[in-house]
Structure 1
Amino acid sequence: MKKFDNFSSNLQVLQKAEQEDLENEFIISGIIDKFFIQFELSWKVLKELLRYEGKTAANSGSPREILKAAYEVYDFIDEDIWLDMLKSRNDMTHIYDGNAAKRLVDSILHRYIPEFVKLRVNIMERYRDVLPLI
């Protein structure tokens, strides 16, 4: 699945974020931008997997609806963290001060990246035989 390949590639880059200079505002901005892309790729991968599973919720264009449906289908989805990610993604356009950006980066590094990794591992485990076909 091309979306999953893009998800995995972007995640590999995002996982390197903690090794960067987290005091540099350009690095912070880049991490936030990469998170935004990763989140978008994530819910779109989940949408495709829900479609594969025959779930009508996959017809929704709403990330919130896709996440809620995914939570019902997959036991490895932590609904609270994913809804926090959605809120962070939605609030990103309103981050004007450096402290708020640093707090978001802290959440990205310590809550969101591990959740993306968990998603990748579980998708690979559950769909290993059909992933290239989806």
Structure 2
Amino acid sequence: MKKYENFVSALANLEDAPNQDLNNDFVQSGLINKFNLQFELSWKLLKRLLEYEGATLAASGSPRAIVKESYRFYDFIDEAAWLDMLRDRNTNVHIYDNKLAQDLIQRILNVYIPAFCQLRDGLMERYGELLMAPDDQFV
């Protein structure tokens, strides 16, 4: 499934964040952008999996609705963390203060990356090799 492959590939890049110079403004900006991308890939992957599960909300759900519905289907999702991610994704475009950026970076490193990893691992455990099947086989 291409959405899962893209999600895993982007997550591998994001997981490398602690090895970077997080005092560099350019690196900080890149980390926040990678977080935004990872969140987008995540909720769109969840939307596709909810469609597979037959959840009617998935057809027209917003990111918030998809996160809330996913919590009902997947016990490995921390709803509060994901709703915080959504809030940060929606508001980080307006971060002009270095302290706010630093706070977001700490949440990305300490809460959000582990939540993305938990999603990756939980989905692999639930769906296994089905996630590696071509999209047309994931019906």
Pick the TM interval, shorter chain. Answer: over 0.9
- How many Å separate the matches in 2 of 1:111 and 1:82? 10
Secondary structure at the aligned position of 1:128 is classed as helix
Letter in 2 for 1:67: V
Map of 1:109 onto structure 2:
109
- How many Å separate the matches in 1 of 2:56 and 2:107? 32
User: Structure 1: which 4+ aligned runs deviate by more than 3 Å?
Assistant: none
Q: Superposed, which structure 2 residues align to 1:62-77 within 5 Å? A: 62-77=62-77
Map of 2:34 onto structure 1:
34
| Aligned positions, number | 134
Secondary structure at the aligned position of 1:130 is classed as helix
Instruction: Give 5+ residue unaligned stretches, structure 2.
Output: none
Map of 1:11 onto structure 2:
11
- How many Å separate the matches in 1 of 2:78 and 2:17? 22
Q: TM-score, normalised by structure 1?
A: 0.97
Letter in 1 for 2:92: M
- How many Å separate the matches in 2 of 1:120 and 1:19? 21
Name the % identity: 55
1:61-86 CA-partner distances (Å, limit 9, x unpaired): 40000001001111111100000000
- How many Å separate the matches in 1 of 2:57 and 2:43? 12
Instruction: Give 5+ residue unaligned stretches, structure 1.
Output: none
Moved more, 97-106 or 6-15: 97-106
What RMSD, in angstroms, separates the aligned Cα atoms of the two structures? Answer: 0.8
Map of 2:93 onto structure 1:
93
- How many Å separate the matches in 1 of 2:59 and 2:123? 20
